[in-house]
Amino acid sequence: MRNVQRKLSIARGERPAELLFKNANLVNVLSGEIYRTNVAVDDGRVIALGEYEAAQVIDLNGSYLAPSLIDGHFHVESSMLTAPEFARAVVPHGTGAVVIDPHEYANVLGLDGIRYVLESSKNLPLDFFIMLPSCVPATAFETAGARLTADDLKLMIADERIAGVAELMNYPGVYLGVESELEKIHAGKGKNIDGHAPGLTGKNLNAYVLAGVRSDHESTEIAEAREKSRLGMHILLREGSTERNLATLVGLVNSNNAMNCSFATDDKLAGDLVSEGHIDHSVRKSIKAGLPPVTAFQIATINTARHYRLRNFGAIAPRFWADFIVFDDLQNPVVRQTYKKGILVAENGKYIAAQPTIVPQPRSTMNLRYDSSKDLDVKVEHRSKMRIIEIVPNQIVTKEIIETPRTENGRVVADMGRDILKLVVVERHRATGNVGVGFVRGFKLKSGALGSTVAHDAHNVVVVGTNDSDIAAAIAELQKLQGGQVAVANGAVKAELALPIAGLVSDRPLDEVIQRISDLNAAARALGCELEAPFMALSFLSLSPIPELKLTDQGLIDAVHLRKTSLFVP
Amino acid sequence: MRNVQRKLSIARGERPAELLFKNANLVNVLSGEIYRTNVAVDDGRVIALGEYEAAQVIDLNGSYLAPSLIDGHFHVESSMLTAPEFARAVVPHGTGAVVIDPHEYANVLGLDGIRYVLESSKNLPLDFFIMLPSCVPATAFETAGARLTADDLKLMIADERIAGVAELMNYPGVYLGVESELEKIHAGKGKNIDGHAPGLTGKNLNAYVLAGVRSDHESTEIAEAREKSRLGMHILLREGSTERNLATLVGLVNSNNAMNCSFATDDKLAGDLVSEGHIDHSVRKSIKAGLPPVTAFQIATINTARHYRLRNFGAIAPRFWADFIVFDDLQNPVVRQTYKKGILVAENGKYIAAQPTIVPQPRSTMNLRYDSSKDLDVKVEHRSKMRIIEIVPNQIVTKEIIETPRTENGRVVADMGRDILKLVVVERHRATGNVGVGFVRGFKLKSGALGSTVAHDAHNVVVVGTNDSDIAAAIAELQKLQGGQVAVANGAVKAELALPIAGLVSDRPLDEVIQRISDLNAAARALGCELEAPFMALSFLSLSPIPELKLTDQGLIDAVHLRKTSLFVP
């Protein structure tokens, strides 16, 4: 903070400010009003509201001036963008701060992953606050790159950019009082503790809250969100790429409870962020659904800043950072300008911030050990039926179905006629040699293979394919790329996106990432796939906490009873 | 906290709670609703809401259950009660926590006074949170018992019952950037910084807020409060014994800004607390003025708990303290029962909590050095006119008037015919021998004298009298009582209240204090005084920061220009 005396003298009107936003229709989220005034800014902060002199005057001519928007819960890895490129995507949409849970980074890189996020997100026109991942690894049924205990979280909790402990996804562990989970909550004492409790109600929800969890972003129905709100949970209204709960949950919000609500996206793809928007989309959607604009902006700004204790964020008043957005239509706010600490960083959709210093990438994470000549083999056992994972389009749950295998030379092979494709998961963190092989219905590939190193939550290599040769080619290409996503056919790469940062995130610019994702989807469609988001579907097939049947590097997982199961039905 | 596992198992419904509040109409200040449910309590905390078993069931039969009320800003010395006797006054009115500024204790006893408040307010059915006094002494024009610098505040700020730095009454010092004031704000970093800025507006208010002040309780007009709210100040709606701003300010409160409002009393006499009530009075008054009951209760509970970060206070939800009130009429809530950590502590106006251990009183504070045979003398100077303080009834401001003195034997004496009485201030902290003598109009005493060791802000001995002999008798009696308030006539004590704790607070029970205050007022009336609160009027005559003319131990103070002045007009 530059000289306090200087700032006070500006506030007293004794010397001019650097900057005056004149004739603003100020969205004052503190007093809950919108009215005409001027905002004086100096050294990146709001100094005063009212009649002031300044070296530079920006006449807003009655345009609306609101605080920059805040995302209350986001996994930046879902955009597959580095922090600077993510900023390029969302700053033009008016985002000024994000509360992120680097859960995927942590699953691959542990504390190093969190450190990388802290470092790579500095000095951007977007402030990152970090919740420490609480569920690494997600389960014991897959091999992740790291394991974080309460003692690990304690090492980092004091950092001023750490806002608390991230979503406690192991909610049964919490309400049942498993010591390791309670210790993680304790590690976050004095900061925030985020929840994740889809569908949890009644007594177990009471126990979950009693244990210290303060928020939830998983409600899909009003009754569920209301019960959580009644128990004191801060409600994050989620609107991401696939999980879209805002239209429903906005019905819960009223003037008596709005202060306990925030907007969040959870997961959102780069392309959606650019085309649809970020928190600005949630603001528009809420207003269209009938929320008063001031309330929508409070939910998008100060409520989140207060809940997560983001000092000097979320409002336009003396001492707050001069993080502003400018727009013209209160009923349909489309961000025309974004300011960060008083500096114009985006205008008319164009990002105009300075390029940050690039920080070194973390270490390589593609440590595979497998033998393509035999690890992909599935020998027919003396049984007639096998378990198959069936995809439920646009959901992370799957079904278990039982089918007769197609065999060739004593080996089970893909059967494109019945849409039964081979699914392979290769451990990539510790070179354990673990390879899980199973079968999946839903991709409808007629040839080739699709592979990804984004595979929740352990992010091992996952490949679906019509033949072993293309599966092996996909794995080889992913190894070469140091992680990524590929579409392969007849031994040739049809499309690819390298994700060399933890096997999760691209080192390429925003536009190129969006183009390559588009190319990958087109390539998958060309191979016969009809899914809207085939690589996303692929990435959830290893997520062992979610029913019914999943495949990890350790084999098929009965995700209903959380136990390993066999490919062949006994 | 008793075994966490035990509590979680109660929440899960696996074992009974100690206590169940059944069929409550719950005032849920978190979700902003009122609805029928049950509340399970164990080990002093809320465990769960819903259907539960318990060892003891309290069937509320549809009565309302709300969180106990919180006073956001109070000087407990204004009640002249010890913390336990103050609890006796307000707990039956449903108060569960108070945020206090022990400004008067600190002026007399310094850090020892704050330590005494911390210690004497433990283990009561009322939680005390303390803001560290920021203006000790109030000015350089009177001799106080202590001086607190930022370094002193830093010694205590970390205590978990210290909620921040109390009202920065030297608001010009703050907005002008005086280093000692900025350092006090800095000492409170990470906790709360209370303001006090009556009538401050515009640029200087912006500077005051910019410096770090976060609240204000001095607004008397809506426009003033609105301006402060727009700058982000938390607005404390004050309703005390004399300062009654609620009726006006409630007009500011609406659903967009209510979350940034709290109730406070600032100063309230023991008798008023008992007869009129405390924060419950503010709740009733707000509802009568049209505020929705849920909003009034949010302002009276969770808003204050959040602003001052009173952990686990202000709501009824899992993990919160089981601090409840029970009442039957939502439109006119009269507290029928008060619970503290699940224990019934007041019912039907009767206080039924256990007596706490009495803590040792702080040291004696009556260190006078004066000579009654000459220090009260005012020799006539060769001028014809003198300055006289004129009381403005029910205000802390005074007027300066100029009158011709009445003289006897070359000395100025009181003139009951024109209501010009002698006013004497004797320093009592350091035995400096300082004695200030002046004259005052407004008391209308026909005989005798009134004396007090409550005399804002330095709390020296102040006596108004019709003759030197009774003035001396009053001082002698106050010395004997080790501080207090007295009415004396013809050398005889007519009524008195001993205030041996810092010369500010009685060691007697609530009822006796109220009775003696009543007797003192009756005695003053019998001597001819027509003021409603003569001892309060007396106590403000030394308050040198408040215009126009005051008398301290250092003599007459021109409180408009903040400088010493002479009795005789030059």
Mutation target for B interface from A9, A42, A228, A259: give the one with most B CBs within 10 A: A259
A440 closest CA partner among A427, A455, A428:
A455
How would residue B405 be classed by pLDDT, with cut points 50, 70 and 90?
Answer: very high
pLDDT score of B392 more than 60: yes
A259 touches chain B (CB under 8 A): yes
Give the span between the Cα atoms of A549 and A555, in whole angstroms.
Answer: 11
pLDDT at B160 over 80: yes
Q: How many CA atoms lie within 13 A of A7 on its CB side?
A: 24
Q: Residue B491: left if φ>0, alpha if ψ -120 to 50, beta else—which one?
A: left
Touching check for B331 and chain A: CB below 8 Å? no
Map residue A501 onto helix, strand or coil: strand
pTM of the model: 0.96
Q: What would the pLDDT profile of B503-514 be if each residue is shown by its tens digit? A: 999 999 999 999
Rounded CA-CA distance B431/B119 in Å is: 28
* Measured distance CA(B183)–CA(A4) in Å, rounded: 12
pLDDT for the residue B358: 84
Alpha-carbon gap, residue B392 to A388, rounded angstroms: 89
Report long-range pairs for A442-445 (Cβ below 8 Å, ≥24 apart).
A442/A390, A442/A391, A442/A392, A442/A393, A442/A531, A442/A537, A443/A391, A443/A419, A443/A529, A443/A531, A443/A534, A443/A537, A443/A538, A444/A419, A444/A528, A444/A529, A444/A530, A444/A531, A445/A416, A445/A421, A445/A524, A445/A527, A445/A528, A445/A529
Are the C-beta atoms of residues A98 and A68 closer than 8 Å to each other? Answer: no
Nearest to A202 among B50, B298, B318 (CB): B50
Identify the residue whose tokens are 């849409």. Answer: A419
- Looking up tokens 């013809």, which residue turns up? B490
Q: Report the relative pairing of strands A162-168 and A192-195 from DSSP bridges.
A: parallel
- What whole-number distance in Å separates Cα of residue A109 and Cα of residue B156? 42
CB B49 within 8 A of CB B86: no
Distance in angstroms (rounded) separating the CA atoms of residues A482 and B398: 81
The Cα–Cα gap between A277 and B276 comes to: 55
Instruction: Give pLDDT tens digits for B200-242.
Output: 999 999 999 999 999 999 999 999 999 999 999 999 999 999 8
Q: How many helices (H) and strands (E) does chain A have?
A: 17, 30
Closest CA to A49 of A21, A29, A14, A68: A21
Instruction: Say whether B47 and A211 touch across the interface (CB within 8 A).
Output: no
Is B48 close to A11, i.e. CB distance below 8 A?
no
Nearest CA in chain B to A183: B4
- Sign (positive/negative) of CA torsion A26, A31, A32, A35? negative
CB A347 within 8 A of CB A337: yes
Instruction: State residue A325 phi and psi, 5-degree precision.
Output: -125, 150
Residues lower than pLDDT 70 in chain A: 1-2
Query: Per-residue DSSP letters for A330-378?
Result: TTS----EEEETTEEEEETTEE-PPPPPPPPPPPP-------TTTTT--
Cα A521 to Cα B542: distance, rounded to the nearest angstrom: 81
Nearest residue to A130 via CA among A90, A161, A84, A157: A161
DSSP A289: T
Among A189, A204, A210, most B C-beta atoms within 10 A, so best to mutate, is A210
A295 touching B (Cβ < 8 Å): yes
Chain B residues near residue A313 by CB distance under 8 angstroms: none
pLDDT tens column, A476-532: 999 999 999 999 999 999 999 999 999 999 999 999 999 999 999 999 999 999 999
**Partners of A327 in beta bridges:** A64
Assign B133 a pLDDT band (cuts: 50, 70, 90).
very high
Task: Compute the distance between CA of residue B357 and CA of residue A80 in angstroms, rounded to an integer.
Answer: 63
Please report the sign of the dihedral spanned by the C-alpha atoms of residue A277, residue A279, residue A280, residue A286: positive
**Termini Cα distance of chain B:** 69
Give pLDDT, residue B545: 85
Q: Do A32 and B254 touch (CB under 8 A)?
A: yes
Alpha-helical regions (H) of B446-562: 468-481, 510-526, 534-539
Q: B 219-238 residues with CB below 8 A of A? A: 226, 229-232
Q: Find how far residue B562's CA is from the centre of its chain.
A: 25
Which residue in the set B177, B232, B319 is minimally distant from A212, CB to CB? Answer: B319
Q: Stretch B433-454: mean pLDDT, rounded?
A: 98
Tokens at B409, concatenated = 């034997």
Q: How far is C-alpha A394 from the chain's CA centre?
A: 16
Res B387 pLDDT > 90: yes
Contact B4 A182 (CB under 8 A): yes
DSSP A102-135: -HHHHHHHTHHHHHHHHHHTTTSSSEEEEEEPS-
Q: How far apart are alpha carbons B329 and B351 in whole angstroms?
A: 21
Is some CB atom of chain A closer than 8 A to the CB atom of B318? yes
Q: Confirm or reject contact between B175 and chain A (CB < 8 A).
A: yes
- Counted across chains A and B, CB pairs separated by less than 8 A come out at 161
* pLDDT > 50? residue B318: yes
The C-alpha of B76 sits at a distance from chain A's nearest C-alpha, in angstroms, of 29
Beta bridge partner(s), residue A391: A398
Mean local confidence (pLDDT), B19-29 = 98
From CA A420, how far away is CA A391, in angstroms rounded?
11
Reported in sequence order, the residue ranges of B432-491 that DSSP labels E, i.e. its strands, are: 435-441, 449-452, 461-465, 484-489
Alpha carbon distance A277, A283 (integer Å): 10
Q: Do A317 and B209 touch (CB under 8 A)?
A: yes
Residues counted in chain B: 570
Q: Within chain B, what is the greatest distance between any pair of CA atoms?
A: 91
Q: How far is CA A566 from CA A382, A427, A556, in A?
A: 13, 19, 6
- How many Å apart are CA A526 and CA A446, to the nearest integer? 9
Residue A113's closest CA among A90, A83, A151?
A83
For position B1, what pLDDT does the model report?
43
Q: Does the model's ipTM exceed the 0.90 cut?
A: yes
CB contact under 8 A, A31 and B260: yes
Q: Of A23, A26, A21, A20, which is closest to residue A297 (Cα–Cα)?
A: A26
Query: Could you tell me the maximum CA-CA distance found in chain A, to the nearest angstrom?
Result: 90
For the CA atoms of A209, A212, A218, A219, the dihedral, rounded to the nearest 10 degrees, stands at: 30
Residue A420 CA to residue A405 CA, distance in Å, equals 9
Residues A475, A486: Cα–Cα separation, whole Å: 9
Chain centroid to Cα A464, Å, comes to: 24
Looking at chain B from residue 52 to 91, which residues have their Cβ under 8 Å from any Cβ of chain A?
52
pLDDT 10s digits, B324-377? 999 999 999 999 999 999 999 999 999 998 888 889 999 999 999 999 999 999
Query: What's the full length of chain A, in residues?
Result: 570
Cross-chain Cβ contact B210/A47 below 8 Å: yes
Inter-CA distances, B417 with A433, B441, B449, B527, B533, Å? 108, 11, 16, 14, 22
B546 vs A151, more confident: A151
CA distance B324 to chain A (A): 16
Closest C-alpha among B103, B207, B90 to residue B153: B103
Tell me: pLDDT of B491 over 90.
yes
Q: Is the pLDDT of residue B10 over 70?
A: yes
Helix (H, G, I), strand (E, B) or coil at B4: helix
The reply to whether A105 touches chain B by the CB within 8 Å rule is no
- pLDDT for B2 equals 52
Q: Are B564 and B557 in contact (CB under 8 A)?
A: yes
By the 8 A CB rule, do B103 and B71 touch? no
Give me the phi and psi of A550, to 5 degrees please: -135, 165
